[in-house]
Amino acid sequence: MTFEKILVTGAGGQIGSELVPLLSSIFGEERVIPSDVKEIKDKRFKYLDVTDKNSVDLLIEKNKVDTIFHLAAILSASGENNPELAYRVNVEGLHNILNSSLKNKVNLVMIPSTIGVFGPETPKENVPIETITRPTTIYGITKVLAEQLGYYYYRRFGLNVRGLRYPGLLSYKSPPGGGTTDYAIEMIIKAVKGENYSCFLRQNSKLPMMYMPDALEAIMKLAEAEDKNLKHRTDFNVSSFSFTPAELESKLREYYPSFTVNYNPDFRQNIADSWPWSLDSSAAKKEWNFSPSFNFDQTVKDMIYNLKGR
Ligand SMILES: NC(=O)c1ccc[n+]([C@@H]2O[C@H](COP(=O)([O-])OP(=O)(O)OC[C@H]3O[C@@H](n4cnc5c(N)ncnc54)[C@H](O)[C@@H]3O)[C@@H](O)[C@H]2O)c1
């Protein structure tokens, strides 16, 4: 059985804080265990450091977990500030989750990946799944390894590991967790507050993006996809649209005519420069019917509407 007892690691992060309520509404509150190293205000919360092998084992075994959404990670910008931690969490943490899943006969392990697996040698437009993946960040390197480790556990041991490469995710409910695309959320929040914004990327840094409702829909569709339809496993490209900071600035000026942005690129510019501009998501469409609902205009409009209401 799958989805009887669902463990979410890194549940307090940008995705987890929206995925936990969604899973709870679909499968029932009592079936979901939100875990993290930072405390979450939720009576079901369990402290779990994924780098602690024994605790991972104990929690999965004791709660008879059959499904895992493994979201615990150190993202691109935070990873460059602490590469050792990024390696421990993103690689050793995943290794612990996979080993414990095998031992405890977990039915499904979802492991989000990222456009961070690509690097400067990757083509820029409409990037296919199978291409050059030589990232320059520790985040990207750990995520290439994570995708491959997931494939290995599937092929070698038959563990049902699935993953998708998210682009930058836009959301208004919880703050982003130290990624390179965080600027977009920060810029929208500043515009809504009536403040100007200092952007850490150049005007013309085009990057692929997606609105959180589509990101949640994507991970749920992949989790529930029929096994026989999957030719890929841990590296599905998914994205909705792409834009530059300048394009977002001018979109926001349609709502806030006096809004302005200063551009002061920092170390994150190098990361953005190494990533593609757009992705080919056709395998996700073909194998599990992925089709995003929100385009750029609708996403910005919806974010502004919800941020204003807060
Ligand atoms: N948000 C995005 O734009 C984006 C884009 C591409 C891929 N992803 C991927 O999606 C997944 C979730 O990302 P997110 O945006 O929610 O990240 P986030 O940084 O917002 O959240 C990650 C969570 O992991 C927790 N964590 C850190 N170390 C831990 C440890 N040792 N044990 C347990 N928990 C730990 C943090 O406390 C945090 O709550 C990651 O695998 C990430 O690579 C996210």
- The model's pLDDT over 163-218, given as tens digits with 9 standing for 90+, comes to 999 999 999 998 888 999 999 999 999 999 999 999 999 999 999 999 999 999 99
Task: Tell me which residue has tokens 């850490």.
Answer: 200
CA-182 nearest atom, ligand 1: 3
Query: Would you say 233 and 154 are in contact if contact means Cβ atoms under 8 Å apart?
Result: yes
Q: What is the mean pLDDT of the chain?
A: 97
* Given the residues 87, 139, 172, 211, the one annotated as active site: 139
Handedness of CA 26, 31, 37, 39 (dihedral sign): positive
Nearest CA, atom 32, ligand 1: 49
Interatomic CA distance for residues 123 and 93, integer angstroms: 30
Task: Please compute the mean of the pLDDT values over residues 121-148 and round it to a whole number.
Answer: 98
Give the type of residue at 196: N
Q: Where in the chain is the domain with CATH 3.90.25?
A: 169-209+241-278+294-308
Query: Quick one: pLDDT at residue 100?
Result: 98
- DSSP letter at 119? -
Q: Which residues, judged by CB distance below 6 Å to any ligand atom, belong to the binding site of ligand 1?
A: 9-10, 12-16, 36-38, 48-51, 71-73, 75, 89, 93, 112, 114, 166, 168-169, 176-179, 181
Topology (CATH level 3) of domain 169-209+241-278+294-308: UDP-galactose 4-epimerase; domain 1 (3.90.25)
Q: Which residues contact 135 (CB under 8 A, 6 or more apart)?
A: 116, 117, 118, 119, 141, 143, 144, 274
Query: Does the pTM of the predicted model rise above 0.75?
Result: yes
pLDDT confidence band for 232 (50 / 70 / 90)? very high
What is the distance in A from the centroid of ligand 1 to the CA of 272?
A: 18
pLDDT confidence band for 1 (50 / 70 / 90)? confident
Q: Where in the chain is the domain with CATH 3.40.50.720?
A: 6-167+211-237
Query: Quick one: pLDDT at residue 215?
Result: 98
CA-181 nearest atom, ligand 1: 3
Query: Quick one: pLDDT at residue 42?
Result: 97
> What is the side-by-side order of every strand in the sheet holding 236-237?
113-114, 164-166, 236-237
310 pLDDT higher than 80? no
CATH fourth-level superfamily of 6-167+211-237: NAD(P)-binding Rossmann-like Domain (3.40.50.720)
- The model's pLDDT over 58-104, given as tens digits with 9 standing for 90+, comes to 999 999 999 999 999 999 999 999 999 999 999 999 999 999 999 99
Q: Which residues contact 123 (CB under 8 A, 6 or more apart)?
A: 131, 132, 276
Q: How much of the chain is helix, strand and coil, in % rounded to 5?
A: 45, 15, 40
Query: Quick one: pLDDT at residue 22?
Result: 98
- Residue 220: Cβ-neighbour burial (10 angstroms; 0-12, 13-18, 19+): middle
139 catalytic residue (yes or no):
yes
Interatomic CA distance for residues 86 and 144, integer angstroms: 13
* Category of 155 on φ-ψ map: left (φ > 0), alpha (ψ -120 to 50) or beta: alpha
What is the distance in A from the centroid of ligand 1 to the CA of 13?
A: 6
